[in-house]
Amino acid sequence: MYKQQVIRRIFLCCILGLLFPFSLLAQQAVDVTAKADTNSIRIGEQIKLQLTAKLTAQQFKDANFKVLFPVLPDSLDHFEVVTRSNLDTLVNQDQHILHQTYTLTSFDSGHWEIPPMHFEVFSGANATADSAVTLPIGIDVNTVAVDTTKAFKPIKSIKGVAWSIWDYWLYIVIGAAAVLIIGGLIWYFRTRKKPEPVVKTPVVSPYEIAVRELRTLKEEKVWQQGDIKQYYTRLTDILRTYFEHQFNIAALEQTSEELLQNIKPVTKLNQQRDKLRSLLAIADLAKFAKLQPTADEHTECMQKAEEILEWTKPKTGPAEETGADTTLEKA
Amino acid sequence: MENTSSDIRQLNEKIHQASAFVDLLTMELGKVIVGQRYMVERLLIGLLAQGHVLLEGVPGLAKTLSIKSLSSAINAKFSRIQFTPDLLPADVIGTMIYNQQKNEFVVRRGPIFANFILADEINRAPAKVQSALLEAMQERQITIGDTTFKLDEPFLVLATQNPIEQEGTYTLPEAQVDRFMLKVVIGYPTKEEEKQIIRQNLNPELSTPIRSIIQPSDILEARKLVREVYMDEKIEKYILDIVFATRNPEDYKLNKLKPLIAYGGSPRASINLAWAAKAYAFMKRRGYVIPEDVRNICFDVMRHRVGLTYEAEAENVTSENILSEILNAVEVP
């Protein structure tokens, strides 16, 4: 009885022992490889080490299935990592191949091994971790053969780089652009239409304006139509505007009395003071006291205005030159 | 009813005759008051235009003498009230006192019951006394107890302010100052005038007493004529332009004045400007107002009605400066 039990246990163990590697195989199920592009380099030369993991389409789609590539330090035993590429995916029929390339170099002569690469594989809902390991790769790092029988050679001078037009492309482009711009500007200024000469309209002098307005006032026959107030308002406004522009007296903002005071420094105008006084007096009465001057007075006032204008008419230029006797601060 | 040309001519002649007393009055006052013609002229404007006058000047400038002489020349009743911090409204307008014999309250009229009042140093009395006087000035009547008394006409208040001393004074608020038609700033007499003042005071026999030239009723008649003085629409527009320029200077291309003016003239300013211009025209023996009249009284009517901002005060800009700018910018009709 005991013997049978012992035999049964031994048998069970054998069965389990045989099945164990298969279960491991089923778990891993990822084909990982590390492949070098050469097994022999000269000292300092570079090796391309390609790490590859092949996944089935089902594994690739499985959200719980993950393969972590080994992260190599900058320096391995006898090897230095020069560059690392990003992880790339290649779809090949029903297989998804993940691969990453390392560039390694070695400065130690001899036979060295790139160590096995450990890939971490996570699978299942519980994220069961497992490792997939590649085989080590042997690399021969050879030194350069030195002929010791020959004498030492001097250090080579710096080797010149061959001249190429592309080294100067930026300067060429800038130069061409500058030439084009300058050429364009020359062309523009030569071919553009010359502005037509501005016809200068003669500046109308205050005197001319005043004369014209007096003529208009006369032609409109304002007082003849009974608008006495309007007639004298316009008549005095014409004179005041003329004084303002011709002699720089702020006549429009001054009362008649102030105006008569302020024309004193303007000799030419002051000579017509009496005429101006009588005109302004009649105008003020007509404007503010409803006085109805006679027709003769209307004509006389117009005549006085014309005489004042004629007397003070500037000899040259639209505005009288400023002088000691003709200038007056705008009051 | 619109005035016609002949109406104005008649009015002009009437005023020319009626205003003759102004020259007589000025001459009579000139007997005792040396210089200060400007102040006397302004007092007459106030009298003719039914306005009151606020005088600002240092003591000793013949303010009291002027108004006293004016009242003598018009044969009117004069009283002087010295405003002090302890003055009460009853001291000005009067009060009810108990008469034991008659066993009743009787009214005791205050000094305000006169034709000409000199309210000396008005800013020394507290606000309630000031307002009692100013109400009387405006209403021209006084109520004591249950009885309202009409004040005698003509009624002119000449209030004085000392511009130097500010301590212990109650500055008149803007609303109260606005009740004065004119604010006249008077200055010192000239050297020649002052020499004459000295001589006149050292030899009292040289000065002759004031004669009564006219009666108060003549002033009331003159006031009626002043009211009739013709003011053209153009002059009205000119007055409005000046007052509006103090309110909205930017409308008259005076943008630089905008930050300097806190408030402009009130409608009372326009009314008083028109009244004073008419009175001035009357004094110049004219039956119509011309722009000169408006300009002549503009500063006295407007200077206390233009409020200055802190910015203006910081820059030492006065209301006179602002008014000058306005008068130089507003077109004369």
DSSP-assigned letters across all residues of A252-306: GGS-HHHHHHHTTTSHHHHTTHHHHHHHHHHHHHHHHS-----HHHHHHHHHHHH
Residues 6+ apart with CB under 8 A from A47: A36, A37, A38, A41, A103, A104, A105, A106, A139
Contact between A254 and B289 using a beta-carbon 8 Å cutoff = no
Give the mean pLDDT of chain A: 83
pLDDT for A327 equals 37
Question: pTM surpassing 0.90?
Answer: no
Which residue from B4, B232, B332 is facing A252, i.e. has the nearest CB?
A: B332
Determine which of B228, B292, B298 to mutate to test the interface with A (most A C-beta atoms within 10 Å). B292
Taking only the tens place, the pLDDT of each residue in B179-212 is 888 998 888 888 888 888 888 778 877 667 788 8
pLDDT for A36 equals 94
Residues of B in contact with A253 (CB under 8 A): 327-332
Which of A137, A81, A88, A87 lies closest to A112, judged by CA? A137
Q: Interface pTM (ipTM) of the complex?
A: 0.76
pLDDT for B62 equals 78
Taking only the tens place, the pLDDT of each residue in A108-154 is 999 999 999 999 888 877 778 888 899 999 999 998 877 888 888 88
Residue type, A115: P
Q: Which residues of A touch B (CB under 8 A)?
A: 233, 250, 252-258, 284, 287-292, 331
**Is the model's pLDDT at A57 over the cut of 70?**
yes
Which of B274, B316, B304 lies closest to B56, judged by CA? B304
Which of B94, B95, B155, B87 lies closest to B122, judged by CA? B87
**Is the model's pLDDT at A324 over the cut of 60?**
no
Taking only the tens place, the pLDDT of each residue in B48-85 is 888 888 888 877 777 778 888 888 888 888 888 888 88
**Is the model's pLDDT at A56 over the cut of 90?**
no
Listed by number, the residues of chain B in 218-247 with a beta carbon closer than 8 Å to a beta carbon of chain A are: 230, 232, 234-235
Taking only the tens place, the pLDDT of each residue in B218-259 is 888 888 888 888 888 889 999 999 999 999 888 888 888 888
Residue B317, chain A, CB below 8 Å: the answer is no
Q: Taking CB atoms and an 8 Å cut-off, how many pairs form between chains A and B?
A: 55
Taking only the tens place, the pLDDT of each residue in B79-116 is 888 888 888 888 888 888 888 888 888 888 888 888 88
Rounded CA-CA distance B36/A258 in Å is 23
**Is the model's pLDDT at A331 over the cut of 70?**
no
> How far is C-alpha B328 from the chain's CA centre?
25
pLDDT for A244 equals 87
Contact between B332 and A253 using a beta-carbon 8 Å cutoff = yes
Residues 6+ apart with CB under 8 A from A29: A56, A59
Taking only the tens place, the pLDDT of each residue in A171-206 is 999 999 999 999 999 999 988 887 777 777 777 888
What's the token pair of residue A227?
A: 């608008």
Residue B109 DSSP symbol: E
Residue type, B6: S
pLDDT for B297 equals 92
Residues of A in contact with B331 (CB under 8 A): 252-253
